[in-house]
Amino acid sequence: MASRPQPRFPEPDTQPFWDATREHRLTYQVDPATGDVIFFPRRHSPYTGTTNLEVRESKGMGTVYTYSVVRLNRHPAFAALGPYAVAYVDLDEGFRILTNIVGVADPVKDVKIGMRVKLKWEDQESGIALPMFEPA
């Protein structure tokens, strides 16, 4: 089966995030001076421009903000999946991630906005892992 599009490197802003996924750690950044939560990963804070940021690890619990079930994707890796759910999940630590909802029998019926979800890693041949979510 064809593999999904993968993150590509060198890409210094997101490299530390993807490196952490090799150890199944979901990381995000915080500005210790303001408490701002930063995601997607970047060297600077989009709120103040500071580069003095801390990396923290998420517990991987969150809520579905919104989703769509994709019925048609011409990319071979996705065409082979059948209908699948793309979603934004709001993590309890305050960041929003684009992801897939997995571990449901029928994504059309079983995924709901507001449902609680937990992190589920999907290992990739390249050694990184994709953070996905399943019902909590």
Min dist. Cβ of residue 47 to other proteins (A)? 10
Distance CA 126, CA 76 (A): 18
Contact call for residue 104 and other proteins (CB under 8 A): no
The identity of residue 62, as a single letter, is G
- # chain residues binding other proteins, by CB under 8 A: 48
Say which residues have a Cβ less than 8 Å from residue 65's Cβ, sequence separation at least 6. 87, 88, 89, 90, 96, 113
Contact call for residue 80 and other proteins (CB under 8 A): no
Angle among Cα 16, 13, 39 to the nearest 5 degrees reads 85
Contact call for residue 121 and other proteins (CB under 8 A): no
Contact call for residue 126 and other proteins (CB under 8 A): no
Distance CA 6, CA 8 (A): 6
Note whether 70 and 83 are within 8 A (CB). Answer: yes
Min dist. Cβ of residue 68 to other proteins (A)? 4
Min dist. Cβ of residue 98 to other proteins (A)? 5
Min dist. Cβ of residue 96 to other proteins (A)? 5
Q: Which of 34, 51, 98, 106 binds other proteins (CB under 8 A)?
A: 98
**What are the tokens at 88?**
């934004």
3 state DSSP class of 116: strand
Q: Which of 27, 45, 58, 100 binds other proteins (CB under 8 A)?
A: 100
Q: Which of 50, 63, 94, 104 binds other proteins (CB under 8 A)?
A: 94
